[in-house]
């Protein structure tokens, strides 16, 4: 029995077939994902250093900075702020670099909000 060459018209139709793929047009612009920047407690970084970091890199007042530092000290960690991925990444890098340069073990991380 001679075989007929396969044609595109022999391709399966139905779900998954290109001809059946529907598109939905979105009118609303999706909000970009946001990231929490977290400060972690340790036993060695001086409290004043942490307060200074919060004032310097997060633009917080002295009172706000002291409050967040105390929360980290008592609870183990605190959210310092919520930012876009790029801003959060930059803040984490700035804090980690500043702490390292001053030889303090302070840790700062980020996670999806
Ligand atoms: N626990 C530190 C101390 O007693 C103070 C501290 C607070 C360290 C917050 C880190 O993120 C931190 N000196």
Q: Measured on CA atoms in the order 59, 60, 65, 67, is the torsion positive or negative?
A: negative
Burial of 61 (0-12, 13-18, 19+ CB in 10 A): exposed
41-80 pLDDT, tens per residue? 999 999 999 999 999 999 999 999 999 999 999 999 999 9
Please tell me which residue, 103 or 11, carries the higher pLDDT value.
103
94 within ligand 1 shell (Cβ under 6 A): no
Distance CA 94, CA 57 (A): 7
Q: How far is ligand 1, taken at its centre, from the CA of residue 33, in Å?
A: 29
- Mutate which of 39, 72, 105 for ligand 1? The one with the most ligand atoms within 8 Å of its CB, which is 72
pLDDT at site 12: 47
How large is the average pLDDT for residues 12-37?
78
**Ligand 1 atom at shortest distance from the alpha carbon of 40:** 11
Distance CA 73, CA 47 (A): 8
């Amino acid at each position: 029995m001679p075989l007929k060459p396969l044609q595109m018209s022999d391709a399966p139709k139905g779900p998954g077939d290109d001809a059946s793929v529907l598109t939905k047009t979105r009118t609303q612009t999706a909000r970009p994902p946001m990231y929490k920047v977290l400060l972690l407690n340790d036993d060695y970084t001086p409290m004043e250093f942490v307060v200074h970091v919060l004032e310097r890199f997060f633009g917080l007042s002295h009172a706000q900075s002291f409050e967040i530092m105390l929360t980290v000290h008592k609870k183990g960690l605190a959210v310092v702020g919520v930012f876009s991925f790029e801003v959060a990444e930059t803040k984490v890098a700035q804090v980690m670099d500043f702490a390292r340069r001053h030889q303090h073990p302070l840790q700062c991380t980020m996670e999806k909000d």
